[in-house]
Chain A
Amino acid sequence: MPALILNGLKILFLVLIFLFLWQVGLAIRSHIGTGPSLKRSRGGHELVLLRGDAKKGRTIRLRPSGHTIGRSAEADVVIDDPYASELHARVETHDGGTLVHDLGSTNGTYVNGRRITAPTPVGRGDTVQIGKTILEVR
Chain B
Amino acid sequence: MTRNTEAMLVLAGATLASLGAAMVGFAEGRWLDATVALTFVSFALAFGSIHVAFRMWAPNANPLLLPIATFLAAIGSTEILRLDPDLAALQRWWLVLAGAAAAGTVWLLRSSGIAVLRRYRYLFLSAATVLLLLPLLPASWPIYGAVVNGSRLWVRIDLPLAGRVLSFQPGEIAKVLLTIFLASYLADRSEAMSTVSRKVGPFQIPEPRHLGPIVVAAGAAFVVLIYQRDLGASLLLFALFVGMLYAATGRGFYLGTGLFLVTIAGGAAYAMFDHVRVRISAWIHPFADYTGAGYQTAQGLFAMGSGSLTGSGVGLGRPDLIPAATTDFIFAAVAEELGLAGSVAIIVAYAFLVTVGFGIALRSRDRFRKYLAAGLTILIGVQSFLIIAGIVRLFPITGITLPFMSYGGSSLLASALIVALLGRISHEEQT
Contact = CB atoms under 8 A, between A and B. Distances in A.
B213 interface: no
B250 A59 contact: yes
Contacts of A16: 16, 19
Given A1-B29, A35-B359, A36-B363, A24 B9 contact: yes
B310 A10 contact: yes
A18 B190 contact: no
B23 interface: yes
Contacts of B356: 28
A59 to B, nearest CB: 5
Contact of A6 (B20, B26, B204): B26
The DSSP consensus for interface residues of chain B is helix
Contacts, number: 110
A58 B206 CA distance: 13
B345 A6 contact: no
Contacts of B429: 36
Interface stretch (B39-47, B49-57, B193-201, B378-386): B193-201
Contact of B23 (A9, A23, A54): A9
Given A21-B352, A31-B359, A14 B195 contact: no
Nearest to B356: A28
A17 interface: yes
Given A5-B26, A36-B363, A14 B341 contact: yes
Interface in B416-431: 429-430
Contact of A21 (B19, B26, B198, B349): B349
Contacts of A97: none
Contacts of A94: none
A24 B352 contact: yes
A83 B314 CA distance: 69
Interface residues of A, number: 37
B195 A61 contact: yes
A9 B64 contact: no
Interface residues of B, number: 49
Nearest to B337: A10
A6 B348 CA distance: 25
Interface in B275-330: 310-311, 313-316
Interface in B147-165: none
The DSSP consensus for interface residues of chain A is helix
Interface string A3-19: 00111011101101110
A78 interface: yes
B16 A55 contact: no
Contacts of B315: 6
A31 B196 contact: no
A129 to B, nearest CB: 19
B352 A36 contact: no
A1 B13 contact: no
B9 A59 contact: no
A11 B309 CA distance: 11
Contact of B26 (A1, A23, A77): A1
Interface in A96-118: none
Contact of B64 (A17, A31, A67): A31
Nearest to A7: B313
B40 to A, nearest CB: 15
A63 B314 CA distance: 57
A21 to B, nearest CB: 6
A45 to B, nearest CB: 10
A137 to B, nearest CB: 16
A74 B227 CA distance: 45
Contacts of B349: 21, 24
Nearest to B13: A20
A67 B199 CA distance: 17
A50 to B, nearest CB: 15
A87 B87 CA distance: 68
Interface of B: 5, 9, 12-13, 16, 19-20, 23, 26-27, 29, 62-64, 67-68, 71, 75, 190-191, 194-199, 204, 250, 310-311, 313-316, 338-339, 341-342, 345, 348-349, 352, 355-356, 359, 362-363, 429-430
What 5 pairs across the A-B complex have the smallest Cβ distances?
A10-B313, A17-B345, A37-B363, A1-B26, A59-B250
Interface of A: 1, 5-7, 9-11, 13-14, 16-18, 20-21, 23-25, 27-28, 31-32, 35-37, 54-55, 58-61, 63, 67, 73, 76-78, 80
28 contacts: A1-B29, A9-B23, A10-B311, A10-B314, A13-B314, A14-B338, A14-B339, A16-B19, A17-B338, A21-B71, A23-B12, A24-B67, A25-B352, A27-B63, A28-B64, A31-B62, A32-B359, A58-B204, A59-B194, A59-B250, A60-B194, A61-B190, A67-B195, A76-B195, A78-B196, A78-B199, A78-B204, A80-B199
Given A13-B314, A61-B195, A78-B198, 17 more contacts: A1-B26, A6-B27, A6-B315, A13-B16, A14-B342, A17-B71, A17-B338, A20-B71, A24-B9, A25-B352, A32-B359, A35-B363, A36-B430, A37-B363, A58-B204, A61-B191, A80-B199
